[in-house]
Amino acid sequence: MTLEAAFVRLPPVVRAVAPFLDPRAWGAVAYVWLGFPLGLAWFIGLTVGFAAGVPLTLVWVGFLLLFATVVAAWGAEGLERRLAMSLLGARVPERRARAEGRESFRRWFSSVVGGPAFWKGLAFLLLRFPLGLAGWVVSVVAFAISLAFLATPVLVSLEVGEVRIPFRFVDTGIDALPLALAGLVGLIGTFHLHRAMGWAWARMAEVLLGAGGPARTAPAAAPSVPAS
């Protein structure tokens, strides 16, 4: 039995108060924290590649730059697809063009650019930076506040400093216990928040990192009638 299956079998109350036992919650945390550096990399690469390649199409260098940008974007889409599947449990259909056998690279490139999968994946890469940055900021703030409150009794007991709340100072570990409880509640809420963000990213990946509708199945052959 996998860890995810074991978590699902826990009572609903346990799942509600202990979301940090869910492997998908930790996967969502990792995915959110990867969103900022990866989104920044995709944004810079695509912006520089297309902005420099389009004007330079007057000479052959521009076509080479656009070609390299498209190939790099296709690889980035594949990486994002794998991350969404492994960290978030997204079910992204496998409909990406692949070079098979002796198929020419030119024909493969034409199938990539001419299909909907590449352009939808390109939209996902461009959205990864603003949404990834926003999610990363929310994650950092939520974890920082929750962990700071949770560690208050330890910091006060070690005389690292004193905490000031409205109308009084907290200078003993006992007085800081309510703050630690608030930090624990905040940490539980933070993990639930990351699970929600991971769910939203998984659904977006399923829509934008797949190539469209389900594959068409060939019509069934008519049964043969034996000759009389």
Helix axes 60-88, 23-53, angle to 10 degrees: 170
pLDDT over 60 (residue 71)? yes
Distances from the Cα of 89 to the Cαs of 53, 83, 181, 189, 212, in angstroms?
36, 9, 32, 21, 19
d(C-alpha 184, C-alpha 204), whole Å: 30
Using the 8-state DSSP alphabet, how is residue 210 labeled?
S
Cβ density class 180-193: b for 16+ within 10 Å, e for less: beebeebbbebbbb
Q: What pLDDT score does 223 carry?
A: 44
- 2, 173 contact by CB (below 8 A): no
pTM: 0.80
Look-up: residue for tokens 């309510």?
Answer: 178
pLDDT over 70 (residue 170)? no
Paired with 164 in beta bridges are: 169
Average pLDDT, the chain: 81
